């Protein structure tokens, strides 16, 4: 038994400098250094003893390691330095000591994060103040494009935001793409942060590189309270991004009925268009937003308006299969056979997607079931290409027809693809499927 105990005593691993640094074992660390332990040796995850001691806040051990020649600017594989480790954990005294020994205040890790960003991200207020005292650069941004202020807002740290503004960080300090802190607050619904920023003079109509404004972000996110706050602060509803989408058209794009009504009340034009000529009604119809379509029509939206390629709200509704909206638009006087620049009608667009119910509704309203676009496509040919058996049968019943030669070719193509039901329908449709109105 005694021999076994002696064996385990001899076999127990000797403490490493990394272990001593991590656990704060000063006597052990001193002994190991005196025995020649490498002060900057790499341990688990590529950390040096100094990184571990800094991370755990062992001030005396950090002093010992620095005095032994430890490198204050060493990096682990993630690019984190001892200063970054200390900032992450909020060990201000350790951080100050590292800086005194030549640690680089603004050293960034592999994701572009500096000690100041890390301290802000983790709400280390005392550390933030020390870094400012040491002239840390608050204008830099990480790989995500955020600076210290935008990061603080994004993390929801109102106390850090207050501290940064108190220390002199400009409230409209832009991130990489021109995003300011107010953009971040508006997009993420941080009302308290937005109020703080606005009280501090944030530009409510700041414009990002892509032309977006905070109001556009709040509208896209569907946040009525944020939208109201920005409008009360003077947000301009007429501004547009590079695609011509302002707050009003964004509300239509995302189906924000309540917000669209607010924009109209603040001066938005009901038939305003984006760069593609899309109106709010066209966007809402294509997106399937029935309540919004009804609101816009009630506000006087033009049901006949078309985009640059000739598409109308009815085109979008038909293509998307939005039967309720389709019916609403037809009741509002939308042209059932409005054609795009390439000759496509709403019925042809519905047929492309195999929307039998929409085709039937449009045909009942007088749509031409034999329309042919500029590429020689008809409802029957696109239905055959899509292998929409029910639609093919419905179209024949509604009076659609094909030349024999083309019907045979489509039937042969279907057979070659193993679509025997489609082939049979195409052939049988030529020989006696009659229009409903002709029966009886």
Residue 317 domain-assigned? Answer: no
Residue 82 domain-assigned? Answer: yes
**Structural Rg of the chain based on CA atoms:** 34
Number of domains in the chain: 2
With beta carbons less than 8 A apart as the criterion, state whether 185 and 194 touch: yes
Q: Can you say whether the dihedral through the CA atoms of 159, 160, 163, 169 is positive or negative?
A: negative
Query: Cα separation of 22 and 299, whole Å?
Result: 68
Within a 10 A sphere around the Cβ of 277, how many other Cβ atoms?
Answer: 15
Structure tokens at 278: 């899309």
The domain that holds 126 is classified in CATH as: 1.25.40.20
User: Same domain, yes or no, for 199 and 130?
Assistant: no
Of 391, 386, 389, nearest to 369 (Cα)?
391
SS3 306: strand
Please say which residue of 137, 159, 187 terminates a domain: 137
With beta carbons less than 8 A apart as the criterion, state whether 131 and 115 touch: yes
Q: What pLDDT score does 14 carry? A: 54
Please say which residue of 215, 236, 257 terminates a domain: 236
Q: What pLDDT score does 434 carry? A: 42
User: Same domain, yes or no, for 68 and 108?
Assistant: yes
Q: List per-block mean pLDDT (blocks of 10 residues) for the chain, which spans 440 residues.
A: 30 71 95 95 92 97 97 95 96 97 96 97 97 97 96 96 97 94 97 97 97 96 96 95 96 96 95 97 98 98 97 98 98 96 97 97 97 95 92 93 79 79 78 44
Query: Cα separation of 86 and 91, whole Å?
Result: 5
Query: Rounded to two decimals, what is the model's pTM?
Result: 0.84
User: Same domain, yes or no, for 29 and 83?
Assistant: yes
Structure tokens at 128: 């933030």
User: Same domain, yes or no, for 28 and 110?
Assistant: yes
With beta carbons less than 8 A apart as the criterion, state whether 289 and 257 touch: yes
Name the H helices within 205-355. Answer: 214-221, 224-232, 247-253, 257-265, 280-287, 290-298, 313-320, 323-331, 346-352
Q: Within its chain, how far is the Cα of 208 from the centroid?
A: 15
Identify the domain containing residue 167 by its residue range. Answer: 145-236
Query: Cα separation of 412 and 427, whole Å?
Result: 10
Q: What pLDDT score does 10 carry? A: 38
User: Same domain, yes or no, for 86 and 115?
Assistant: yes
């Amino acid at each position: 038994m005694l021999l076994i105990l002696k064996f385990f005593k001899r076999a127990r691993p000797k403490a490493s400098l990394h272990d001593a640094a991590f656990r704060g074992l000063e006597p052990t660390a001193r002994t190991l250094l005196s025995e020649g332990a490498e002060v900057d040796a790499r341990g688990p995850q590529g950390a040096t003893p100094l990184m571990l001691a800094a991370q755990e806040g062992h001030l005396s051990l950090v002093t010992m390691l620095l005095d032994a020649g430890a490198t204050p600017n060493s990096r682990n594989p993630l690019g984190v330095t001892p200063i970054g480790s200390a900032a992450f954990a909020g060990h201000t005294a350790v951080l100050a000591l590292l800086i005194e020994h030549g640690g680089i205040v603004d050293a960034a890790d592999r994701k572009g994060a500096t000690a100041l960003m890390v301290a802000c991200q983790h709400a280390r207020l005392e550390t933030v103040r020390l870094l400012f005292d040491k002239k840390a650069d608050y204008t830099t941004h990480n790989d995500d494009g955020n600076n210290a202020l935008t990061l603080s807002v994004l993390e929801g740290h109102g106390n850090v935001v207050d501290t940064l503004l108190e220390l002199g960080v400009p409230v409209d300090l832009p991130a990489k793409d021109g995003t300011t802190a107010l953009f971040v607050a508006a997009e993420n619904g941080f009302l308290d942060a937005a109020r703080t920023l606005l009280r501090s003079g944030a530009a409510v109509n700041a414009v990002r590189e892509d032309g977006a404004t905070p109001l556009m972000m709040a509208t896209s996110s569907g946040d009525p309270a944020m939208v109201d706050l920005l409008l009360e602060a003077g947000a301009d509803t007429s501004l547009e991004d590079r695609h011509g989408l302002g707050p009003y058209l964004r509300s239509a794009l995302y189906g924000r009925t309540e917000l669209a009504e607010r924009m109209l009340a603040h001066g938005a034009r009901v038939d305003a268009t984006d760069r593609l000529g899309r109106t709010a009604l066209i966007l809402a119809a294509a997106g399937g937003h029935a309540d919004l379509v009804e609101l816009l029509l009630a506000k006087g939206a033009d049901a006949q308006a078309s985009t640059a390629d000739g598409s109308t709200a009815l085109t979008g509704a038909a293509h998307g299969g939005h039967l309720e909206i389709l019916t609403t638009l037809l009741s509002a006087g939308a042209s059932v056979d409005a054609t795009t620049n390439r000759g496509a009608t709403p019925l042809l667009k519905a047929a492309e997607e195999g929307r039998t119910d929409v085709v039937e509704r449009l045909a009942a309203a007088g749509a031409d079931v034999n329309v042919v676009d500029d590429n020689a496509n008809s409802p029957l040919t696109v239905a055959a290409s899509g292998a929409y058996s029910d639609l093919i049968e419905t179209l024949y019943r509604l009076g659609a027809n094909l030349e024999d030669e083309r019907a045979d070719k489509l039937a042969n193509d279907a057979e070659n693809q193993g679509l025997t039901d489609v082939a049979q329908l195409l052939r049988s449709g030529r020989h006696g499927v009659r229009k409903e109105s002709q029966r009886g």
